[in-house]
Structure formats: structure tokens, C-alpha cells
Amino acid sequence: MKRIFVTGTDTEVGKTFASVAILNQLNNRRLRTAACKPVASGCVDTEEGLRNEDALALQQAASVSLPYAQVNPIAFAAPVAPHIAASQQGMTIDESRLSDNLRHFAEYSPDLLLVEGAGGWRLPLGGGRFLSDWVKEQKLSVVLVVGMRLGCLNHALLTAEAISRDGLELVGWIANQVETDMPYVADNLALLKAELNGPFLGHIPRLANAGLAHQYLDLTPLL
Ligand SMILES: Nc1ncnc2c1ncn2[C@@H]1O[C@H](COP(=O)(O)OP(=O)(O)OP(=O)(O)O)[C@@H](O)[C@H]1O
Ligand SMILES: C[C@H](N)[C@H](N)CCCCCC(=O)O
Ligand SMILES: [Mg+2]
């Protein structure tokens, strides 16, 4: 079971948008895919409990259908940094729940498990721990989604540097067009291709139809 962790240069840069595209393409390649969002904030309270739109999108897109609790083990309502949401509820984030949950995916024998992060690489979990510490301990491969807008070069290079310093492999990166009026997109892509140590998986433009996004990716390096 390949396990990839999808991180981003920031929150709202298209981690979920790109993750769904990854799942769609791998499903089309006849792989068995599973997906999860271990820690989510900004969840909606429903009759079945808290639900996160990212986790629901991943649950829907993966070819192995799983119960919501398996897809999103830790959920908070407040749309804020999860460790703050936890503290506001008088709670802490229990990493053992994340690790136990991750282990259970083997029972479903997917070819690939996609794990979406939250925010960017250094997502605080509280108590001086970061989600990246957990990713490192789980030895996950990392895909970086670069939100293409002015300022992304710095965020992308610093994130890649941190991933490398954490001893993890950047197995691919995706340019996701956040700002349509970004100047010199080709020149920015050229810099990222030259400086990022990992395969370029594709550039997703702004799309009215998310269902087309997978056509802009070539995920061969992930297989
Ligand atoms: N290429 C794109 N074309 C059109 N809409 C996009 C594109 N990429 C992202 N979006 C939209 O931008 C918003 C933010 O994207 P997304 O939710 O994937 O970000 P994220 O990095 O997963 O955020 P979070 O940190 O909350 O998980 C969403 O409404 C998404 O549908
Ligand atoms: C609520 C938001 N959409 C994300 N789910 C959480 C973003 C956490 C960002 C933490 C930080 O400031 O780096
Ligand atoms: Mg997301």
C-alpha cells in the first residue's frame, strides 16, 4: 500500500482540489484508492456528528468506500488552527488516534492511501508537536500542492526544505492556479521546476469543473 501525504504551501491552496484530482486519475488507472483527512477544523455539525467538507470530498472520490470516522478521526467545528480549536474545547489532539486510524487502512488493502494534511507543512498539534512530526514518524511520502499566486515561490521552497530536513521524500508537486491574474506564470513554474527536488506532476488551471482537474496531471511518478 503506497501512502502519500498531501501538503500545501498554505491553507486554501487546493490540497483537497488536487487530492480529488489525484484520486480520480488513479481510479481511472484501475487502482484501489483510499483517502483520509486525519485532522480537520471548520466542520459542520450534522445529525451524524461533525462533518468536514474536505473529508467528505475525499470519502466520495476514493474508490474504497469507508465510514466517515475512518476518513476523519479528529474533527473540530471552529474554522481555526486545530490546536486552538482543541484548546477552546478543553481538549488536546491525541496523536495515537491518528496512528491507530492509519493502521486500520491496511484492512481495506488499497493500492494507494492518500492522506490530506491541514493548513501547511508545519501544522501545530499542540504541546510543541506538529502534524509533520507525525508524518515523519509514519514515514509517509509527500506530495506538495503549490498555490500559484505571487509569493508562492518562497512558500514552496521553504516547505520543500522543511520536508527534506524532516528526512522525508518529496515524491511529487502540483502547481494549482489560485490567482488567475498571476503575472509570469510560466516563469514562476520554471523556477519551481529548477529548484524543487521532486517530480512535477502537473499544473491545474482555475477550472469551473473540478471533474476535469485530473486531466492536467501525470501521476506516473507516483506509481
Ligand atoms: N484549480 C482550481 N480551480 C477552481 N477552484 C479551485 C481550484 N483550486 C482550488 N479551488 C477552490 O478553492 C477553494 C480552496 O481549495 P481547497 O479546499 O482544495 O484548499 P485546501 O488547501 O484543501 O484548504 P484547507 O487548508 O482548508 O484544506 C475551494 O473552494 C476549491 O474548490
Ligand atoms: C480552517 C482552515 N480551512 C484549515 N482547515 C485549518 C488551517 C490551519 C492553519 C494553521 C496556520 O495558521 O498555519
Ligand atoms: Mg483541504
User: How far apart (Å, rounded) are the C-alpha atoms in residues 166 and 27?
Assistant: 30
Instruction: For 24-75, write each residue's pLDDT tens digit.
Output: 999 999 999 999 999 999 999 999 999 999 999 999 999 999 999 999 999 9
Mean model confidence pLDDT for the chain:
98
Whether ipTM tops 0.90, in short, is: yes
Do 60 and 51 form a contact (C-beta atoms < 8 A)? no
Instruction: For 121-161, write each residue's pLDDT tens digit.
Output: 999 999 999 999 999 999 999 999 999 999 999 999 999 99
Could you tell me the distance, in angstroms and rounded to a whole number, from the CA of residue 139 to the centre of ligand 2?
23
Among 41, 76, 132, 178, residue to substitute to test ligand 2 (most atoms within 8 Å of Cβ): 41
Contact 16 CB / ligand 1 (< 6 Å):
yes
189 in the Ramachandran plot: left (φ > 0), alpha (ψ -120 to 50) or beta? alpha
Determine the pLDDT at residue 119.
98
What is the SS3 assignment for 173? strand
| Atom 10 of ligand 2, nearest CA residue | 81
| Whole-prediction pTM | 0.99
Nearest bound ligand to the CA of residue 7:
1
pLDDT confidence band for 85 (50 / 70 / 90): very high
Closest CA to 172 of 149, 205, 207, 145: 145
Contact 55 CB / ligand 1 (< 6 Å):
no
Residues with CB under 6 A from ligand 2: 11, 41-42, 79, 81, 118-120, 123
Question: Which residues does residue 35 pair with via DSSP β-bridges, in sequence order?
Answer: 114
Catalytic site positions: 37
Ligand 3 (ion): residues with CB under 5 Å are: 15-16, 54
Nearest bound ligand to the CA of residue 174:
1
Please name the residues in contact with 154: beta carbons below 8 A apart, sequence gap of 6 or more: none
